[in-house]
Structure 1
Amino acid sequence: MLTGKQKRFLRSEAHHLSPIFQVGKGGVNDNMIKQIAEALEARELLKISILQNCEDNKFEISEEIVKGTRAELVQLIGNIIVLYKESRENKKLELPKVK
């Protein structure tokens, strides 16, 4: 579970990132979740955009992706989801320590 301080840090790191996945009319499927999990292992922090033609609720989509990838939801703002998952082999981000 991320603290508020850690989420603020991750939001600032994610600000300059571009979304690398898009959820469209088809919604979320197993293949997409697998690809997102692999990208999280490589990058640790990423953005996903929800397109206008997506019929599902953005909260349900974010919940489904978080469950499937076992990642942490950093932020859901507008139609952009920001996810974080600590990498086992490609550790890049050093989170602020919890006191």
Structure 2
Amino acid sequence: MLTGKQKRYLRAEAHHLTPIFQVGKGGVNEQMLLQISDALEARELLKVRILDNCADEKDEVAVALAEGTNSELVQLIGLTVVLYKESKNNKKINLPRVDKK
């Protein structure tokens, strides 16, 4: 689970990214989830665009993407979803540490 500080950091990192996947009228499917999981392993942080012709609600699509890829939903802004998953082999992003009191 990400803290608010970590989510803010990831939102700033994702600001310049362009969406590399699109969810259209077919909705979220197994093949898409596999491709997004592979991309998350390589990049750790990515954006997914929900197209206007998608029949599902954007909140449902965002949750389905996060759960289907075992990633964290960083942000849903408009029709753009930002996902984060720590890479096992290609770690690039160092999150701010969590201070325990």
Q: What range describes the TM-score normalised by the shorter chain of this pair?
A: over 0.9
Name the SS of the counterpart of 1:98 in structure 2: coil
Q: TM-score if structure 2 supplies the norm length?
A: 0.97
- Match for 1:52: what amino acid? D
> How many pairs were matched up?
99
- Give the alignment of 1:43-54 within 5 angstroms: 43-54=43-54
- Give the alignment of 1:1-99 within 5 angstroms: 1-99=1-99
What do residues 40-86 of structure 1 show as CA deviations (whole Å, max 9, x unaligned)?
00000000000011110011111111111000000000000000000
CA distance in 2, matches of 1:83, 1:16: 14
After the TM superposition, list the runs of 4 or more consecutive aligned residues in structure 1 that deviate by more than 2 angstroms. Answer: none
Structure 2: which 5+ residue stretches go unaligned? none
Query: What is the root-mean-square deviation in Å for CA atoms of aligned residues?
Result: 0.4
- State the percentage of identical aligned residues: 67
